Structure 1
Amino acid sequence: MSEFELDERLDRDTDLVLRLGLCELRLMNDSRWPWLILVPQRAAVSELFDLTPLDQTMLTFETDLVGKALKQATGATKINVAAIGNIVRQLHVHVVARFEDDPNWPGPVWGFEKAVAYEKTAKEKLIDSLLKALDA
């Protein structure tokens, strides 16, 4: 049985926020949108149906938990949730806070212009707000 390994692109483009029961919670390094990624810590999983029924339930629970915390931490107009995986095949779920005045509202965040990296203090502030919202 192989061990869980994070896809190199996810490792490069995100920062670990915390490990939940099933998933690593990661922050996409693009300050245009508060954009989180949930990655189930399971080896060789690329589709939702590759997870056991219990893991599917945990992923749903953790997605709900993170979505609520992100909305609370940011005051977003809308929380978008998606598991696309056309480029990064490792199963991961995007949880993105959207605002009516964000750079590509109401269009998708994927492939829109070039990412804008977080400044250190802004990243730390967002992570702190998320951790407080998750603890509530």
Structure 2
Amino acid sequence: MFAGSAAFAQAAQCSCLAAIPVSGSVVGQLTNVQGDVRMSQAGGYTGVNGEAPVYSGARIMTGAQASASLVVGTNCAFNVPANVTVQIDPVEGGMCVSFDAPQAAVVPAGSEPGVLPVLLGAGAIGGGAALLLGLQDDDDAVSR
């Protein structure tokens, strides 16, 4: 009973719950490695210089100017940015892929930035400017 609740609690923190094929010990693939990318191995962390298989329990760390593409299972694909640690842990029903960075920093592979954040940012700047102009004392003699 407790094992199921622990697996559920961990799965609730997953960025993606990967469906894993029954056969084979490799659960994913790391590709498009650029910069300082390290992955945990039996003897500690080792550098990744290209493509590398990903195993259950792996930890992947990207350096300050590094990035990589990560695919786990049949349904989880991410572009991993700089300064992130990714954890791939077994949970009931598959592999939990989680990140130690703010969710906004981790972009699912294949997604494109939208126009909405740009419009919202521009609207906030324009609204702030309008507020400042409205509060400005322009010396109108209305109440003299």
Q: Same fold (TM over 0.5)?
A: no
Higher fraction of strand: 2
Bigger Cα Rg: 2
Higher fraction of helix: 1
Normalising by structure 2, we get a TM-score of 0.30
